Amino acid sequence: MLTFLLRRLLSLPPLLLVISFFTFALLHLSGGDYFTRLEEDPKVSQDYVMSLRASAGRVIPVKAEKREDRFGTFTLGGTDYSFDAAGTLVVGGAPASAVEFQQDLKRFEWPVGSGDQYTITERGEVYRWVGWVRGFFAWVGNVCVGDLGESFQYKASVRSVIFDRMSNTLTLSLIALLIAWGLSIPLGVWSGVRPNSMIDYICGGVAYLGLSIPSVFLALLAMLFAYYSGWFPVGGMRDLVKWDEMTFWGKTVDRLHHLALPASVVGLRGLAGYMRQMRGQMVETLSADYVRTARAKGLSNRTVIYKHALRNAINPLLTLLGFSIAGLLSGSFLVEVVMNWPGLARVVVDAVFARDEPLVMAAVLVAALMLVMGNLIADILLAWADPRIRLE
């Protein structure tokens, strides 16, 4: 088991690197970015936009002491430019402001034909443009030291933005996972033990509804039910009026009250699929030869079902656990938007439309990590449930 865990953990960094690379490539090759939109705002200075580009790995600052040797004297638009030893822009032999020459200096190639492009800002700072591949590895280097970058949209570190909302999303997903698995296994066993009975038909109808109704539509129906019945709050995760007056237990009950409806909506779709899977596996397992042998030995029906049949029938469901964690996370994103649950979904959706690349990259990284860890947990549970499996 230890060898298997080490192999899986060692394969984690390359997998995350490949996923991050393709995400970064899609963001950069799709055309346009957050900085282009920001430059159109007359209230935002060019120096601020370029500093953001530098933090995202799009450009690299050229140090003042290296400008004179790197550029020498260069001509743009019929005007001769150079830098002195202190890195100050010189035009026509005298220090000058870069503001009035922005038509030439906003973005230029030097040396001509080399492919290297530079920008000299209004304050005289110099930046060299780099390709998206180099920008990606600059981002990876920052992530390796724990720096996920700064969110362009929220003007805060990506780590604080992500983890402030991640706890709410994880709470919703875990409660939904408990609902889905806590109900699907007993209902699936009950339905599989009594095939073609009234219980089997009722469970099949519930599964059919859960699989056929989209999560967004189900969330809208739940919102209507909460509004007209008054049994559940409509949106949010706590009572904003009475929250400060509540005791610890009062806050816990209020949080669970707000959580019940969104978690039920997210868990229902998983419940339907797992219940049908459990039912099919139980029907197949109960007709196996070793089950008939156990019955012929005189074992009780309860022992045959729960000790012999269930432990073998549940193996396929354990392999789905890793995918169910990622599936519940994506499903909770849709429900969070519709039911106004203050989780990570709204932050990520806004980041995608705003082209907030550091925030989008961090969100994809967290989702991929959850999927991999879910698969690892599923493999461990499968080895625990079935002694025949030897992961070594």
The CATH number for 245's domain is 1.10.3720.10
CA distance 341 to 327: 18
Q: Are residues 337 and 205 in the same domain?
A: yes
30 domain-assigned: no
Q: How many domains does the chain have?
A: 2
- Is position 240 within any domain? yes
**pLDDT at residue 262, as a whole number:** 82
Across 61-75, 251-265, 304-318, least confident range: 304-318
Question: Which residues face 150 on adjacent strands?
Answer: 157
The tens digit of pLDDT for each residue in 163-195 reads 877 778 778 878 888 888 888 888 888 888 788
The radius of gyration computed from the CA coordinates of the chain, to the nearest angstrom, equals: 29
| Structural domain includes residue 18 | no
Asked if residue 167 and residue 126 are part of one domain, the reply reads: no
Evaluate whether 263 touches 172 at the Cβ level (below 8 Å): yes
240 and 355 inside one domain:
yes
| DSSP for 119-170, written as a single string | EE-TTS-EEEE--HHHHHHHHHHHHHTT---EETTTTEEHHHHHHHHHHHHH
Residue 28 lies in a domain: no
Q: Distance between CA 129 and CA 111 in Å, rounded?
A: 14
For residue 206, is pLDDT > 70? yes
- The confidence band for 4, taking pLDDT boundaries of 50, 70 and 90, is low
Residue 389 has pLDDT above 60, yes or no: no
Q: Which domain holds residue 134?
A: 41-147
How big is the CA angle at 8 (ends 6 and 12), to the nearest 5 degrees? 115
Say if residue 344 is in the same domain as residue 220: yes
Q: How does residue 378 score in pLDDT terms, banded at 50, 70 and 90?
A: low
Same domain, 61 and 117: yes
In this predicted structure, what is the pLDDT of residue 46? Answer: 84
139 and 171 part of one domain: no
| Of the residues 115, 147, 179, the one at which a domain ends | 147
Is residue 152 within 8 A of residue 52, CB to CB? The reply is yes
Q: How far apart are CA 39 and CA 55, in angstroms?
A: 16
| Per-residue pLDDT tens digits for 78-93 | 888 888 888 888 887 7
pLDDT digits (tens, 9 = 90+) for 90-134: 887 788 888 888 888 888 888 878 778 898 888 888 898 887 787
pLDDT at 245: 75
Coil vs helix vs strand at 48:
helix
CA angle 324, 330, 137 (to 5 degrees): 105
Asked whether residue 190 is domain-assigned, the answer is: yes
Q: Does residue 97 sit within a domain?
A: yes
- Domain shared by 169 and 285, yes or no: yes
pLDDT band of residue 391 (cuts 50, 70, 90) is very low
CB atoms within 10 A of CB 168: 18
Q: For residue 85, tell me if it sits in a domain.
A: yes
Nearest residue to 89 (alpha-carbon basis) of 67, 106, 60, 104: 67
Q: Quick one: pLDDT at residue 158?
A: 83
> Domain check: are 183 and 76 in the same one?
no
Contact of 129 with 107, CB cutoff 8 Å: yes
**Whats the size of the chain, residue-wise?**
392
Please state, in angstroms and rounded to a whole number, the distance separating the CA atoms of residues 132 and 144: 18
Same domain? For 198 and 246 the reply is: yes
Shared domain for 245 and 308, answered yes or no, is: yes
Give the model's confidence band at 385: pLDDT under 50 very low, under 70 low, under 90 confident, else very high: low
Domain end position, chosen among 147, 176, 191: 147
pLDDT at 62: 86
Q: Is residue 112 part of a domain?
A: yes
Does residue 45 share a domain with residue 136?
Answer: yes
131 and 185 within one domain: no
Q: What is the pTM for the complete model shown? A: 0.67
Bond before 111 cis per omega within 30 degrees? yes
Residue 205: Cβ within 10 Å count: 10
* Domain end point (choices 118, 147, 176): 147
Question: 3-state SS of 174-228?
Answer: HHHHHHHHHHHHHHHHHHHHCCCCHHHHHHHHHHHHHHHCCHHHHHHHHHHHHHH
Mean pLDDT of the 45-58 span: 80
